[in-house]
Chain A
Amino acid sequence: MSKRVIIPLGPQHPALKEPESFTLYLEGERVAASNVTLGYNHRGIEKACEERSYIQCLYLLERVCGICSHSHTTAFITAAEEVAQLEIPKRAKYIRTLIGELERVHSHLLWVGVAAHEIGFDTLFMYSWRDREVVMDILAMLTGNRVQYSINTLGGVRRDVSDSQKEEILKAIDILEERTKYYIDVVTTETTMMGRLKNVGGLTHEIATKLNALGPLARASGVDRDIRRDDPYLVYDEIPFNVITNDGCDVFGRVVVRALELIESYRIIRYVVKNMPDGDLTVKAPRKLPANEATVRYEAPRGEDLHYVRGNGTEKPERVKLRAPTMANLASISYMLDGGYLADVPIVIAAIDPCFSCTDRAISIKQIDSGREGTLEWNNLRTYSIEWYKNHGFDAHKIKLSR
């Protein structure tokens, strides 16, 4: 038994796009044990939502995640509309679905690039990100923005889709479908990629169910679970589509699932564009929402996104709670890393398509000298920060604001 070497992968590491700490206990090149530590990027968005009106919350929640911004706002606004018992127009539902699927396309294409980069295949990374620009342009054309679409509003959507835009979408989807088929061909035939992806990061069906894996991660372990079909929201009950599963139980299976999901997304987008009904974009929504609560599940590109909203009769929500998909999938990471190679750690982590900033629940304070760990309450943290600034010569209480 060789001596164990402890490798810190993160919070700052080239393999990670966001701060997160993975402590790896290595025996040679193999990972004997691993430890995942959350809490480098907590932003207190849930708390901040309680201070804002529903419309303001929408713009704040859009910033939860840069990739699935539409998922979070749609989940939240659907919950808020349930609280208010609003029925939004059909056309608005179709437009929300359209943006949601375009977002899935751009998220999965981004993921293909990231995964390729993690295994050192930068050519595929560059190609897939170049083609991702096609869908980004479509999103920018439809909403005015590449990332933060801001298309949802309480009671509907803010922008319409014109006929010429529909044609542009269909044209772009044709290009993307052709490119995606090419990438599927590359990934399933290229020897070095197969060597790096097959039998890596194994997660069996039983373990995936037990650890409550979600989204493409679970579907690649043969867990047939998709909120779009199981608990339809928006117009998914009208749209014909298949839920992609794969029994590979490894990273390769996750690549295949995401790639085939892209093809399904193109089908959904074509259907939505062709069958979009006429009608209003919004219904009139009240400013104050009744005392009521709602939970909404939404199939974000990374898995199930859960939003809980409780109103209290005012224009601000009393409680907003969100559970991003990465939170559920993190439990699987430690299991998948154990026993694998150090070289596979980045791709195994990337295979869940992690979004750590969305996930962070709390900040854990670790004192390096004493090694003590703990959390601070909001009030204590506030007192601590005021004291800290006082000790450093800055007293906020002494500032006089000129009127």
Chain B
Amino acid sequence: MLLSLLYIFIFPGILFLSVYGLALEYLDRKLYARFQNRVGPPWFQPFADFMKLMGKEGIIPTHADKTMFKVLPSFAVAAVSVVILYLPIWGTNSLYSFDGDLIVVLYLLTIPTITFFIAGWSSNSLYATIGAVRTITQLFAYEVPLFMSLLGPAILANSWSVSGIAAFYSNNPLMALANIPGFIVAIIAIQGKLERSPFDIPDAETEIVAGPFTEYSGRFLAFFRMAIDIEMIVVASLVAAVFLPFWSTSIGLGIVIYLVKTVFIVFILALIRALMARIRIEQMVNFCWKFLAPLAILQILIDIIIKVLL
């Protein structure tokens, strides 16, 4: 009981997630700044931003749906935080694993996007509504390639749990080489999920101000930003668990390996973000369905063929 509470609240639960989320946000911003030949923020900047937003007055627009407006940020944080319980942090075992938790993880990862949509919609503002509609359009574009890219490794590993997949690839590291197309698809799709350039279409600041978060301020905005930070950790952990087969049996080394893997993925994400211009929503949908989805299907085929051959 006590251990469960420790897991949920301290490590790898909400405290670790928020601290590491802010750290990764710092890393992302610093890398982005260095790629752009800027100095970048000091290490405590995300934390300072968060504390400052917490202390600010949260204004709720008159026409907004007040209950939804207040509840949604916490809901988003809660949904993404739960995911970490099903992901392996050190070693290949997650805290609460069962067969089929891959589906639960993907389902829980969809919830923050849905909350962004509802948040924009219930703000009852023009820019927020357009941002909300773009969020949901984008969801339909990247979600299927992301699911399919994770489906391939799962078929090869013959397991529907993230721990099972991780365990299979830690025993057969060479098998992970077959999943490189899926890794590429997953990296691009999570860039869309995290709404970062070139897929920062829902909150394109020069077009629709801040998208779904236009009317948000104060602690509500702070929680949404925290949800995005935590989302970044969990998707990075998920991709690391499925595609990067490096593990250690000792806890200390295991955690270090885990940190290195997530930092590596954040590095790739920051690199993509710095290298590209924002594309239009219809270009995004075209790209996801014409290139990412076929690539993900190719991944599934590769995995099925390997499985049949073995």
Within 8 Å by CB of A120, from B127, B206, B282, lies B206
Task: Give the size of the chain B interface in residues (CB under 8 angstroms).
Answer: 27
Q: Mark B247-275, 1 if CB is under 8 A from A, else 0.
A: 00000000000000000000000000011
Q: Assess whether A5 is in contact with B283, with CB atoms less than 8 Å apart.
A: no
**Interface status of A7 (Cβ within 8 A of chain B):** yes
Which of B6-14, B33-41, B67-75, B236-244 binds A?
A: B33-41
Interface residues of A in 17-74 (CB under 8 A from B): 26, 29
**Interface status of A14 (Cβ within 8 A of chain B):** yes
**A192 to chain B: which residues have CB within 8 Å?**
198, 276-279
A343 touching B197 in the complex, CB below 8 Å, given contacts A7-B126, A120-B206: no
Q: Assess whether A5 is in contact with B126, with CB atoms less than 8 Å apart.
A: yes
Q: Assess whether A29 is in contact with B37, with CB atoms less than 8 Å apart.
A: no
**Interface status of A341 (Cβ within 8 A of chain B):** yes
**A14 to chain B: which residues have CB within 8 Å?**
205-206, 209
B162 to chain A, nearest CB (A): 32
**A346 to chain B: which residues have CB within 8 Å?**
206-207
- Report the Cα distance A26→B127, complex, angstroms: 12
B13 to chain A, nearest CB (A): 35
- Report the Cα distance A117→B200, complex, angstroms: 13
Within 8 Å by CB of B207, from A8, A15, A116, lies A15
A121 touching B278 in the complex, CB below 8 Å, given contacts A7-B126, A126-B38, A127-B37: yes
**Interface status of B204 (Cβ within 8 A of chain A):** yes
Q: Mark A165-197, 1 if CB is under 8 A from B, else 0.
A: 000000000000000000000000010110110
Q: Mark A73-115, 1 if CB is under 8 A from B, else 0.
A: 0000000000000000000000000000000000000000000
Q: Assess whether A29 is in contact with B281, with CB atoms less than 8 Å apart.
A: yes
Interface centre among B207, B279, B280 (most CB of A within 10 A): B207
**Interface status of A385 (Cβ within 8 A of chain B):** no
- Report the Cα distance A223→B127, complex, angstroms: 37
- Report the Cα distance A346→B209, complex, angstroms: 11
Q: Assess whether A341 is in contact with B130, with CB atoms less than 8 Å apart.
A: no
**A193 to chain B: which residues have CB within 8 Å?**
277
**A120 to chain B: which residues have CB within 8 Å?**
197-198, 200, 204, 206, 277-278
A295 to chain B, nearest CB (A): 38
**Interface status of B132 (Cβ within 8 A of chain A):** no
Q: Assess whether A116 is in contact with B277, with CB atoms less than 8 Å apart.
A: yes
In this complex, the interface size class of chain A, counting residues with CB under 8 Å from chain B, is 20 to 34
**Interface status of A353 (Cβ within 8 A of chain B):** no
Report the nearest B residue to A119, measured CB to CB: B277
- Report the Cα distance A170→B282, complex, angstroms: 46
Q: Mark B265-306, 1 if CB is under 8 A from A, else 0.
A: 000000000111111111100000000000000000000000
**Interface status of B233 (Cβ within 8 A of chain A):** no
Q: Assess whether B209 is in contact with A123, with CB atoms less than 8 Å apart.
A: no
A196 touching B130 in the complex, CB below 8 Å, given contacts A117-B206, A127-B36, A343-B201: no
**B205 to chain A: which residues have CB within 8 Å?**
14
Within 8 Å by CB of B277, from A13, A29, A121, A126, lies A121
- Beyond the given A119-B206, A127-B37, A342-B130, could you list 16 further A-B residue pairs with CB under 8 A, ordered by the A residue number? A7-B126, A8-B126, A14-B209, A29-B281, A122-B197, A122-B274, A126-B37, A190-B276, A192-B279, A195-B279, A196-B279, A341-B280, A341-B282, A342-B207, A343-B207, A343-B281
B residues bordering A, Cβ < 8 Å? 35-38, 126-127, 130, 197-198, 200-201, 204-209, 274-283
- 24 A-B contact pairs sorted by A residue (CB < 8 Å): A5-B130, A7-B126, A7-B127, A7-B130, A8-B126, A26-B130, A117-B206, A120-B198, A120-B200, A121-B276, A123-B35, A126-B37, A127-B36, A190-B277, A192-B276, A192-B278, A192-B279, A195-B279, A195-B283, A196-B277, A196-B280, A343-B278, A343-B281, A344-B280
A residues bordering B, Cβ < 8 Å? 5, 7-8, 13-15, 26, 29, 116-124, 126-127, 130, 190, 192-193, 195-196, 341-346
